[in-house]
Amino acid sequence: MTDRAPRVVVLDYGSGNIHSAAKALERAGAEVEITANRAAVMEADGLLVPGVGAFSAVMEQLNTVRGGELIERRLAGGRPVLGICVGMQVMFADGIERGVETEGLGEWPGTVDLLEAEVVPHMGWNTVDAPEDSVLFDGIRDERFYFVHSYAAQAWELDPHPRLAPPAVTWARHGSRFIAAVENGPLSATQFHPEKSGDAGIRLLSNWIGSLR
């Protein structure tokens, strides 16, 4: 038994918020490495997939480092992965931006589309509706988190598996209701930015890191 800090790799594929995410993980108690090295990604206790910008651009960048394959192999082995913002969106089957449809990683069925709201983008602090069995939101269900996005998954389409625990799906509202976070076996993700969400965001990351031990 060891008390060493869990080792988390932040996938380095060109995303703009990579260093702030790494610093937040360190504050939350992880040993952090920023890399796309295959061995490091596969051996880490946790993998964080950041993402800012357009769905199609993030997918193109991920493909340059074979990110989809790395994520899929980790998940197949039960190795935890956390996606943030567009790093969450690309886990769905596809995304539609300005009429252009782009294939996602397909870990979850469903489409990421433009928010149905009077004001877009959704920018600023918002509350979430997290289920009682959520690990990520343990102790912080009443907190506010920082969102910056125009697109989101607005329906949960994964059929429950009779032998597996159902996913914990967290919702938020900006105009229409949208998915704010998902915890589905080894794959978790947030639409908001924990690294920009103050103490509540650090607590969420700490909850995830604690699950890696």
- In a domain, residue 1? The reply is no
Query: Is 193 one of the catalytic residues?
Result: yes
Task: Quote the distance between the C-alpha of residue 189 and its chain's center.
Answer: 3
Averaged over 158-183, what is the pLDDT?
93
Averaged over 30-37, what is the pLDDT?
98
Query: Is 161 one of the catalytic residues?
Result: no
How is residue 156 written in tokens? Answer: 């949960």
When divided into structural domains, the chain yields a total of: 1
116 neighbors 73 (Cβ within 8 angstroms): no
Examine the pLDDT at 158 and tell me if it is beyond 70: yes
- In a domain, residue 16? The reply is yes
Indicate which residue of 85, 107, 122, 149 is catalytic.
85
Query: Is 19 one of the catalytic residues?
Result: no
Looking at residue 26, its amino acid is E
Q: What is the pLDDT of residue 57?
A: 96
Q: What is the pLDDT of residue 2?
A: 56
pTM: 0.96
pLDDT more than 70, % of the chain = 99
- In a domain, residue 2? The reply is no
Note down the domain range covering 54: 7-211
Indicate which residue of 107, 143, 183, 195 is catalytic.
195
